[in-house]
Amino acid sequence: MFPILLQIGTFRIYSFGVFLMLAFFWSCFLIWKNIRISKFNEETTFDLVLISCMGAFMLGRFVYIFFHFSDFGFDIMKYILINGYPGMSILGMLVGGVGTMAILCKREKISFFELSDYIVPSLFLFIAISKLGSFFAGSEMGKKIGAFRHPVALYGAALFFLGSFAAQRVLYAIRKESFSKEFPLVFYTWGYSLAVVSLRVLKDPLALSSEVMAEYWIILTLLLTSSFYFVYYFRVLIGSRFKSFINWNSHYAKTVVKVVPRKSEKTHGGGKGQNPETDRKL
On the question of pLDDT at 9 being above 70, the answer is: yes
Give the least confident one: 9-13, 133-137, 225-229, 246-250. Answer: 246-250
Segment 37-62 shows an average pLDDT of: 86
* 189-230 per-position pLDDT tens digit: 899 899 988 888 888 777 677 677 778 888 899 899 988 888
CA nearest 150: which of 158, 159, 142, 162?
142
On the question of pLDDT at 54 being above 70, the answer is: yes
Q: Which helix (H) or strand (E) holds 135?
A: helix 120-137
Segment 170-199 shows an average pLDDT of: 83
What crossing angle do the helices spanning 90-108 and 183-200 adopt, rounded to 10°?
A: 170
Segment 225-241 shows an average pLDDT of: 76
Bigger pLDDT: 107 vs 11? 107
On the question of pLDDT at 162 being above 90, the answer is: yes
CA nearest 115: which of 28, 34, 176?
34
Residue 220 Cα distances to 92, 185, 191, 204, angstroms:
15, 17, 12, 19
- What average pLDDT does the chain have? 78
CA nearest 27: which of 109, 98, 113, 119?
119
Q: What is the pLDDT of residue 281?
A: 47
CA 243/CA 238 separation, integer angstroms: 8
On the question of pLDDT at 278 being above 60, the answer is: no
CA 127/CA 24 separation, integer angstroms: 10
Q: What is the pLDDT of residue 161?
A: 94
Please say whether the beta carbons of 223 and 193 come within 8 A.
yes
How much of the chain, in percent, has pLDDT values that exceed 70?
Answer: 77
CA 216/CA 203 separation, integer angstroms: 13
Q: What is the pLDDT of residue 5?
A: 67
Q: What is the pLDDT of residue 13?
A: 73
* 55-74 per-position pLDDT tens digit: 888 888 888 878 777 777 77
Q: What is the pLDDT of residue 160?
A: 93
Q: What is the pLDDT of residue 164?
A: 92
> Which amino acid is present at 99?
G
Q: Using CB atoms within 10 Å of the CB of residue 107, give its burial: 0 to 12 exposed, 13 to 18 middle, 19+ buried.
A: exposed
Q: What is the pLDDT of residue 15?
A: 76
Bigger pLDDT: 91 vs 132? 132
Do the bridges between strand 148-149 and strand 144-145 make them parallel or antiparallel, or are there none, so unpaired? antiparallel
* 111-158 per-position pLDDT tens digit: 888 888 888 899 899 889 988 888 887 777 778 777 777 888 888 899
